[in-house]
Amino acid sequence: MSAADVCAAVVPGVEVTGAWLSAALDGQAGHLMQVTDEVGRLLADLQLTLGEGPLLDASASGGPVLASDLADRESGARWPAFAPAACRAGAAAVFVFPLVVGAIRAGVLGLYRDRPGPLGDFQLGDALVFADTATMLLLDAAQDQAGEGAGPGGQPAGLASYRAEIDQATGMLTEQLGVSITGAFVRLRAYAYANDIQLADVARDIVARRLRLFPDPDLAPEG
């Protein structure tokens, strides 16, 4: 069984529309590992690009974040950029579970529905079991790489490329801008947000040298 199997099984198991699995990056769930559909992929990318959303909150807090209606006032106040964008993408409710063991944070399991409404008690319990299973599989996969043509946990080659491009672009920006990895990722995300472009597309253009970001003249170089 792999993390991909968990991502696929949780959809009918918890009666949601789709799911995604993100691995941890510097204390935040920053690397998309598995998705069940394009809406799930977009939800994960939106949160990284906008710098807000239940994915980031769950990763930071270490507890589940359950948003049963993204169109309500509470969600709009909590995530003023993400909530309306997620609704436009086709999600009405999002439920995110951190993948944690003690102090280790492996990532998050995200679920969404195309209609509003909370998870039932049994559905919530099942989602927590799926999250625990995904945690163990991700930690095991970190020590035991998957076979040819795949990444950790059975990650498809396409998503491995998505992850590698963001990593590579972030690394290139550390040199170009004279900032830390964290600072480079912030600049990458800010450019994507300001120009309404998906994070992966900005990273791809930077890696291909079609786009170059320049240091902010008002900021002193880090170090």
Cβ atoms 116, 93 nearer than 8 A: yes
Q: Which fold has domain 155-207?
A: Arc Repressor Mutant, subunit A (1.10.10)
Residues of the chain with CATH 1.10.10: 155-207
Tens of pLDDT along 74-118? 999 999 999 999 999 999 999 999 988 766 778 899 999 999 999
pLDDT band with cut points at 50, 70 and 90 for residue 185: confident
SS3 117: coil
Q: pLDDT tens digit string along 151-176?
A: 444 444 444 555 567 778 888 888 88
Which residues of the chain does CATH 3.30.450.40 include?
3-143
**How far is Cα 181 from Cα 197, in angstroms, rounded to an integer?**
21
Going by pLDDT thresholds of 50, 70 and 90, the confidence category of residue 223 is very low
State which amino acid sits at residue 119. L
SS3 of residue 218 by DSSP: coil
Specify the fold of 3-143. Beta-Lactamase (3.30.450)
Is residue 188 within 8 Å of 204, Cβ to Cβ?
A: no
pLDDT band at 30 (very low <50, low <70, confident <90, very high): low
